Amino acid sequence: MKRRMLRVGRLFLFEGSLLALAAAASAHLFSLELWGTALMAFAVGLAGCAAGASVALRSGDLMMAWRCPRLDALALRADSADAPWEALAAADEALGALESAGGYREFFPEARRHLVQSAFRSLAAYRLAERALDALREAPEGEARERLAAQEAAARREVASLTAALKDLKARFVAATAPVLGGEAGPALRELGAQTDLLAVAIDDLNRTPEAVPASSRS
């Protein structure tokens, strides 16, 4: 919760400063009995703060800061409030589980990078699905429409698959790094590290797959 509040607070630092400045200016003007000017100054500051909050909401920055503070700290941007939040939250929680692994992190040194790659990939697949869906609304019947429908379905499946994989990795991070009584954690941790490597290979393979959606499906 503290991390989330810090990320949201950082996001609204400028707006909060603007509102505080407007309030101070208004108070000073009130003391000079300039009632109308004081109210106008406060209204301008309030409007600026509201505009900043609106932009943060529409751009997805507020949601990213609240739901995915670790990804937000790594400068991942959704660019819209419409994003695969379940997949992004799963990646953020997996990063949190990895951070809590302490000294066990040596067993999967590349896991952090792989998890961030997964978050980027889920965003790319979701955007592809949305572009395909937009094109489908105007596409006539025929081969082009079928290709768009197939692209959308494949991208949706990819997002769902990444979400499930990230949730599973989080659970495995937690389980593999839990205190072991009378046993050796090494083999389980090494196996988990190998799984994050496999996830990275799968993402690399997907990144080599053409993703272009026709700008116009009327051909």
The confidence score (pLDDT) of residue 179 equals: 56
Q: Spell out the per-residue pLDDT of the chain, length 219, in tens.
A: 666 667 667 666 767 777 788 888 888 888 887 888 888 888 887 887 777 777 776 777 888 888 899 998 888 888 888 899 999 999 999 888 888 766 566 666 677 888 888 899 999 999 999 999 999 888 888 888 899 999 999 999 999 999 998 988 888 777 766 655 444 555 555 566 666 665 655 555 555 554 433 333 333
Which single residue is written with the structure tokens 């959704």?
78
Closest CA to 115 of 60, 174, 163, 63: 163
Between helix 186-207 and helix 111-136 the angle, nearest 10°, is: 40
By the 8 A CB rule, do 128 and 213 touch? yes
Distance CA 132, CA 154 (A): 11
The confidence score (pLDDT) of residue 217 equals: 37
pLDDT digits (tens, 9 = 90+) for 165-209: 898 888 877 776 665 544 455 555 556 666 666 565 555 555 555
By the 8 A CB rule, do 108 and 189 touch? yes
The confidence score (pLDDT) of residue 126 equals: 94
The confidence score (pLDDT) of residue 204 equals: 57
Quote the Cα angle for 19-77-50, to 5°: 20
Side chain identity at 45, as an amino acid letter? G
The confidence score (pLDDT) of residue 215 equals: 36
The confidence score (pLDDT) of residue 28 equals: 83
Q: Long-range contacts made by residues 38-47, C-beta under 8 angstroms, separation at least 24?
A: 45/18, 45/19, 45/21, 46/19, 46/22
